[in-house]
Amino acid sequence: MSNAVTTAPAPTAPPPVEKIRIKVDGRDIDVPKLMPDWQGKLVPTTMLQACQMAAQEVPHYCYHPRLPIAGNCRMCLVEFGTPVMDPATKKPVLNEDGSTKIARSVLPYEPQTPRGAIACATPISPGMELYPSSPATKQMREAVLESLLINHPLDCTICDQAGECKLQEYSVQHGQAQSRFVEPKVHKPKAVDLGPRIVLDDERCILCTRCVRFTRDIAGDDALGIVNRGSYNTIATAPGKQFDNNYSLNTVDICPVGALTSKDFRFKMRVWFLKETKSLCTSCGTGCNITIGSRENVLHRFEPRDNDAVNGSWMCDSGRLNYPWIGRADRLQQVQVRGQASDWGTALGEITTHLRNASDGSVAIIASARQTTEELYLLRQLAVRVGALTDSVEREGEADRLLVHSDRNPNSQGARLTGIAYTEIGISIPSIADGIRSGKIKTLIVFGEDVTKCGIDAGLLGKVGTLIVSDILPNATTAVAHYLLPGCAHAEKRGTFINAKGRVQKFLKAVEPKGDARPEWEFLAELTKSLGAVDGFSTIEGLFNRMASEVPALAGVEWSKLGDHGVNVPV
């Protein structure tokens, strides 16, 4: 069974191809001759990739491993040399000491000047020598940076990119301390409204065309281009058109400078204050990996996090902007028993007594496929203990060809694997409704769903003897709950989701829950323990490992093996 657990192939895992021996800064290194490009096609390895393998970082702006190569920023210039070949024998010429004779690349018309090559687009050849730390390379970088900064406005103080700006970083690492440029800078349009979510500052743009390539080749919406000539080059949309596709905010991430900025994050918080938490997007079954940026218990932004097995480097705008509800003022913050403010001890105590005395089959549980796998597992154990019917609620939407999945629940597979729901989610809800109508079901437990929208209307809910509801935001179901237990958004707790393809991924806690709210798994653990259903763990790690040992599909999986990118299980 454990063979079923597979880890994703590493992003740059070399396919079994022949290797080439080259030298990087005088050190021998064997690099594969071919490597996958942005589409996965095998192409000759570039100098930049070779330097990376030799742990020599080459600064670059326009190069992005998941985009076609443009080679226009010139930042990755590296001095190099190739073995001298004897034209007659086609063999390398040797020095007197027996080593291969290397010809450093020089300008053809002035051989005393070294000539660099753009490392991102130049393939390596056998015996090649790269000099990423040579004085000539450093000088080239300095010169390129100087020219990039000629017309840069240096308005870092008002630029949202400041702090994660490659121009800032490389200027510190490779740039000059002072500008030699005395002429007035070329001024271009500032704060251009490109679309509903993007603002463009043309002065800051270094024309690397990452955004152009992304939206043309990845998003498939050829919306951006470069207009005007020379110093007046600017990024622009076609006249009268907007830059508005569901992946536009990815251009903000890949923009190495502050040219493209997010309207949502505009002037909201300086990035160096943000605490970064590894988490997951909950907007659909894809389960994109994200990084949550929060400060002092306030969420400020979601950003995609690299995961080759799920989302590459991207995420959709709708998922990215789906966070403000977590900070909404009307969040449920108070434990309530029959409309009266109460506390956890009282509420859980009464629920325990009630469930202990409930007869077999008189309880039904409607869980949510937005809950974590652990919570669904605990609810399932609770259901087994009290003999309850369980199901979840389905959410369908339109899929696109990139990331958005038709299943809008982040954890449908979790609901299926833990036994909360059948393959077709929501199939038992009509029978639960019938049970209530016939008076057979006297107790209904609802987690994170508004059941009035899926076949159990308010009138029917009124027939339920005891309605136990846990949710995050108020809705028609929470309004009539007998026991209301405030829960946590995913950013406020830890847990795992299993995405539509069966990848178990964990997410971590970014902010503290509001008011009385507690992670559902915590109070469910107390409840199941006092009912004698599940026991023997006190942490989320322990709960996950216990669940993995009991749920067949998760056999062999451990919390510690999930890593940042998760593991696949058969679904």
Q: Which residues bind another protein (CB under 8 A)?
A: 153, 155-158, 162, 183-187, 190-191, 263-270, 272-273
Q: Given the complex with another protein, which of 190 and 278 has the nearer CB atom?
A: 190
- CA distances (Å), 329 to each of 31, 268, 324, 326, 389, in order? 55, 19, 10, 9, 34
Q: Given the complex with another protein, which of 267 and 325 has the nearer CB atom?
A: 267
Nearest to 388 by CA among 361, 367, 355, 366: 361
The rounded distance, in Å, linking the Cα atoms of 100 and 77 is: 24
Token duo for residue 244: 């508005």
Q: Given the complex with another protein, which of 55 and 191 has the nearer CB atom?
A: 191
Size of the chain, expressed as the number of residues it contains: 571
| Strands of 503-507's sheet in order across | 495-498, 503-507, 567-568
Q: Is 175 helix (H, G, I), strand (E, B) or coil?
A: coil
The rounded distance, in Å, linking the Cα atoms of 418 and 513 is: 26
Q: How far apart are CB 162 and another protein at their closest, in Å?
A: 7
CA atoms within 13 A on the CB side of 362: 14
The region that residue 117 occupies, defined by phi over 0 for left and psi between -120 and 50 for alpha, beta otherwise, is beta
The rounded distance, in Å, linking the Cα atoms of 82 and 103 is: 5
Spell out the alpha helix ranges (H) of 24-175. Answer: 47-53, 135-149, 166-174
How many of the other CB atoms lie within 10 Å of CB of 177? Answer: 6
Q: How far apart are CB 296 and another protein at their closest, in Å?
A: 10
How deeply is 5 buried, as exposed, middle or buried, from its count of CB atoms within 10 A (0-12, 13-18, 19+)?
Answer: middle
Q: Given the complex with another protein, which of 109 and 272 has the nearer CB atom?
A: 272
Q: Given the complex with another protein, which of 216 and 263 has the nearer CB atom?
A: 263
Q: How far apart are CB 61 and another protein at their closest, in Å?
A: 23
CA atoms within 13 A on the CB side of 79: 21
Token duo for residue 516: 């009385």
Q: How far apart are CB 264 and another protein at their closest, in Å?
A: 6
Contact indicator for 104, 114 with CB cutoff of 8 Å: yes
Q: How far apart are CB 158 and another protein at their closest, in Å?
A: 4
Q: Given the complex with another protein, which of 157 and 178 has the nearer CB atom?
A: 157
Q: Given the complex with another protein, which of 163 and 556 has the nearer CB atom?
A: 163
Q: Are strands 198-200 and 34-36 parallel, antiparallel or unpaired?
A: unpaired
Q: How far apart are CB 193 and another protein at their closest, in Å?
A: 12
Q: Given the complex with another protein, which of 23 and 320 has the nearer CB atom?
A: 320
Query: Which residues on adjacent β-strands are paired with residue 127?
Result: none
Q: How far apart are CB 263 and another protein at their closest, in Å?
A: 6
Q: Given the complex with another protein, which of 264 and 303 has the nearer CB atom?
A: 264
Helix/strand number for the chain, H first, E second: 15, 26
Nearest to 8 by CA among 289, 279, 308: 308
Q: Given the complex with another protein, which of 39 and 157 has the nearer CB atom?
A: 157
Q: How far apart are CB 302 and another protein at their closest, in Å?
A: 15
Q: How far apart are CB 188 and another protein at their closest, in Å?
A: 8
How many of the other CB atoms lie within 10 Å of CB of 362? Answer: 20
Q: Are strands 289-295 and 298-304 parallel, antiparallel or unpaired?
A: antiparallel
Token duo for residue 193: 């409204």
Q: Given the complex with another protein, which of 273 and 325 has the nearer CB atom?
A: 273
The continuous run of DSSP H or E covering 49 comes out as: helix 47-53
The rounded distance, in Å, linking the Cα atoms of 472 and 291 is: 22
The rounded distance, in Å, linking the Cα atoms of 330 and 100 is: 74
Q: Given the complex with another protein, which of 232 and 457 has the nearer CB atom?
A: 232
Q: Given the complex with another protein, which of 143 and 162 has the nearer CB atom?
A: 162
Q: How far apart are CB 268 and another protein at their closest, in Å?
A: 5
Q: How far apart are CB 508 and another protein at their closest, in Å?
A: 24
Query: Which residues on adjacent β-strands are paired with residue 199?
Result: 193, 261
The continuous run of DSSP H or E covering 503 comes out as: strand 503-507
Q: How far apart are CB 199 and another protein at their closest, in Å?
A: 9
Q: Given the complex with another protein, which of 18 and 183 has the nearer CB atom?
A: 183
Token duo for residue 416: 């299926």
Q: How far apart are CB 185 and another protein at their closest, in Å?
A: 7
Q: How far apart are CB 267 and another protein at their closest, in Å?
A: 5
Query: Which residues on adjacent β-strands are paired with residue 44?
Result: 34
